[in-house]
Chain A
């Protein structure tokens, strides 16, 4: 009993985390204190500034505040806290304009500090841009890309796996061999070719999503194989045989009988593939197919870590990567829970 309760609790926590995460990312403009392209040229690679309640003289402020940052003369390139400059944190401030879901314009931000103070919750990058804001806005692109690619992969997998499993025989053989072929090819070149062929007028975000969509379409082989397995076994079930005896068409069978069986596998695949495609996006950026400046994606945030001086001197650049871990954990927990339920139902 307690095992089940624990599983249930785990699943709930994971789902809540996912919903909150996605909601925050969707409303990135609101939760981020700055725009993703806002440069602060005199504050490159600034460490995270944390809000305080008590200042250096021991006085307690009701409203949290941040200190100003000044150049450290002894350590060129580093900063020291300027305790004389106190910038209180305000909530529901009017800041840089942004668009919700690309349509609705707004200027309200959850929190912010007055100029010239800066609130860098995750530090700043080489051009002084707030990493936290870029993480949220980048999440919009990366999450969308991951979900899109996973969706495309699974959709194509359903179609092809369904056909292969249902009809069997040489068609099945051909499709599965074709799948192996797909896995083996150097798709990188095709991605380069597509990228090179796109006209200049297409926006960076669109180009990026197109590339990830292609990656998703390419990856149909694994989901197809799994779904084919489910369809194969479902095909032999008595109720399906009965329906076929009644003259049911393929579409009807798939829709009413087989796909519900495959539902569990499909959902599991989706939950497992989204993190994989987010990571694939990081690899694409690594190879030069990332989204252009000044747009942010999680890939561009992580690819700065390739450089040794960033790795060794600026620890806060690791934070975006670390924040991904709970997200991926949540996705995997959901996938696991679905699998558990599948097993318990199947038995």
Chain B
């Protein structure tokens, strides 16, 4: 440096220091004070490490591309949504959106976001991130499975930024479950992902090989490390926007570990051995095995009652005129007769299914809504007892009769014989099929069980319609009826028994009307009466013959605090931010 400037060095240094001090003060002043959500759980102890088993490796950490459950479990711990469904009450509650208003026509939702919230990498969160996230989810070229959940009235929701902390969502029609569509829709960090998105490389970001520093979210945890084939480790997100009543910032856990244990049996074995702390989604038989040792080994098992899954038997009622299947078409004369289906329903030993397939840990069903769905189950639906006599009466009135050997014969003299399709890798449904086959043999029906590999079965059910009857199960993703639209509406893609796209019976048209109406009715009581009627139709007209719903079974080590399992996914980790280690 020249001699002249040399003299001014100390002054320049002071000036720079003062200036930076001002800038810093100014910057921190513009950063809004944090608006934290306060939870009402029992305050827990800080620190600790929890280990949970995952059925398979997560396929991605990218919320827009996730389609499988194990990835979703991990992603749910890394991200947060605007409005969240509380798994205990099954109702919505504020999350990243601290409040919202609805326009009088029910089509516009204005959400007010929390101020001062930061992503797990310290960067601030605001409405730009929300707009960017929805832009990504709704992008048709990305094929995100989330997109389908954000389509209302055949149009995707429109997002508009009002200001830095206010966003407006516009729906094409009033939607009863509008608040619920935000649940699980993770808000993505624009500062990390926008470039990739603009360059069209979004489907490659946040794969499992992404470096943890590149992955950020608003959830209770952030990615620490991923060891392929073994485990993924999450660590506490210091910027998480929730605190408990005592003012401690959540989550309590310092670390959350997911171990990859591919089979249920292996998971049970490792839980017993003490390798994992929480276990969920296991069978009733394993429940009995675990129950025996719980006092000794320091864990407890709980049966939470009926889940939202329902298993059912249904017949092929598709219009087969375009497909050359004369044999099946002939048998459809029986299947379409309501009395035939009712006879089958009366003959099925649902209590036997509960006892023998689920070891007693299930609930028999006569319509599709399980008792676990406290908000929507119609308590007025009768539960008729099994009665072979009633079945025989019904068959007689439909013109069937019995030959001397006991074989059931239709009015034309053809013996009643058909096959039931089922997934060969699903053991409970195979057993159900065996039980039903035995039940129906008491009516003189000759039933075969055809176990097929999953893809082959899907091909027959959805493409070729080359089946006579099948046993399937559907696990509702949400308690709300709108999650089942595709099943009960005639042009729905999982309207399994009749995929023609339009109703072929009066009760199907009635169901269509009711389902579409409840979709746009905002008043809960009115919706309930509409959906009750849908359940009545399912019970009376038997598009599907509901069988049973397995209970939700969970287990946790005694040292896990605030363990509060729910019947809606994610069963045990929905309140992972409140869990702690004693």
Contacts and interface: CB of A to CB of B under 8 A. Distances in A.
A308 B449 contact: no
A76 B456 CA distance: 39
Contacts of A44: 355-356
Contact of B288 (A39, A77, A288, A292): A77
B139 interface: no
Contacts of B356: 41, 44, 126-128
A293 B419 CA distance: 11
A313 interface: yes
A272 B355 CA distance: 43
A288 to B, nearest CB: 4
Contacts of B449: 204, 292-294
B434 A288 contact: no
Interface in A8-30: none
Interface string B256-285: 000000000100110000000000000101
Given A126-B356, A196-B453, A41 B433 contact: no
Interface of A: 37, 39, 41, 44, 76-77, 126-128, 192, 195-196, 199-201, 203-204, 288-290, 292-294, 306-310, 312-313
B289 A200 contact: no
Interface residues of B, number: 38
A279 to B, nearest CB: 19
Contacts of B430: 293
A77 B285 CA distance: 10
B268 A308 contact: yes
A187 to B, nearest CB: 14
B438 A200 contact: no
Interface string B438-465: 1000000000111111011001000000
Contact of A312 (B289, B427, B431, B459): B289
Contact of B269 (A127, A308, A313): A308
Interface in B394-425: 419, 424-425
Given A127-B435, A308-B265, A290 B327 contact: no
Contacts of B100: none
Given A201-B327, A288-B424, A309-B289, A127 B450 contact: no
A203 B456 contact: no
A278 B268 CA distance: 31
B451 A294 contact: no
Interface in B445-500: 448-453, 455-456, 459, 466-468
Contact of B289 (A195, A292, A293, A313): A313
A200 B327 CA distance: 10
B426 to A, nearest CB: 10
Contacts of B56: none
Interface in B176-206: none
B459 A196 contact: yes
Contact of B452 (A127, A195, A199, A306): A195
A211 to B, nearest CB: 12
B425 A293 contact: no
Contacts, number: 85
B490 to A, nearest CB: 26
B468 to A, nearest CB: 7
A77 B359 contact: yes
Nearest to B268: A308
B532 to A, nearest CB: 33
Contacts of A289: 424, 453
A293 B288 contact: no
B450 A37 contact: no
B352 interface: yes
A308 B435 contact: no
A294 B438 contact: yes
B49 interface: no
A81 to B, nearest CB: 21
Nearest to A41: B352
Contact of A203 (B288, B425, B448): B448
A125 B434 CA distance: 13
A204 B265 CA distance: 29
> At the interface, is chain A mostly helix, strand, loop or mixed?
loop
17 contacts: A41-B352, A41-B435, A76-B288, A195-B452, A196-B456, A199-B466, A200-B468, A201-B327, A289-B453, A293-B430, A306-B265, A307-B285, A308-B265, A308-B289, A309-B283, A309-B288, A310-B285
Nearest to A201: B327
Interface of B: 265, 268-269, 283, 285-286, 288-289, 327-328, 349, 352, 355-356, 359, 419, 424-425, 427, 430-431, 433-435, 437-438, 448-453, 455-456, 459, 466-468
A289 to B, nearest CB: 7
A41 B459 contact: no
A125 B144 CA distance: 45
A293 B421 CA distance: 11
B289 A204 contact: no
Given A196-B452, A309-B289, A294 B424 contact: no
Contacts of A195: 452-453, 456
A309 B459 contact: no
Contact of A288 (B286, B453, B468): B453
Contacts of B289: 308-309, 312-313
Give the residue among B327, B431, B433, B434 with the most A Cβ atoms within 10 A.
B434
A41 B352 CA distance: 7
Nearest to A77: B288
A39 B435 CA distance: 8
Contacts of B419: 200
5 shortest interchain CB distances as A-B pairs: A196-B456, A308-B265, A288-B424, A309-B285, A293-B434
A206 to B, nearest CB: 11
Give the residue among A41, A44, A192, A289 with the most B Cβ atoms within 10 A.
A41
Contacts of B466: 199-200
A76 B356 CA distance: 13
A309 B453 contact: no
Contacts of A128: 356
A293 B437 contact: yes
Contacts of A204: 448-450
A126 B427 CA distance: 11
Contacts of B359: 77
Given A41-B349, A288-B425, A294 B437 contact: yes
Nearest to A37: B438
Contacts of B455: 192, 196
A290 B450 CA distance: 10
Contacts of B349: 41
Contacts of A288: 424-425, 451, 453
Contacts of B459: 196
Contact of B456 (A192, A199, A306): A192
Given A201-B327, A308-B265, A290 B451 contact: yes
A309 B424 contact: no
Give the residue among A192, A288, A292, A306 with the most B Cβ atoms within 10 A.
A292
A186 B430 CA distance: 27
Nearest to B419: A200
Contacts of B453: 192, 195-196, 288-289
A126 B288 CA distance: 14
Contact of A293 (B265, B286, B433): B433
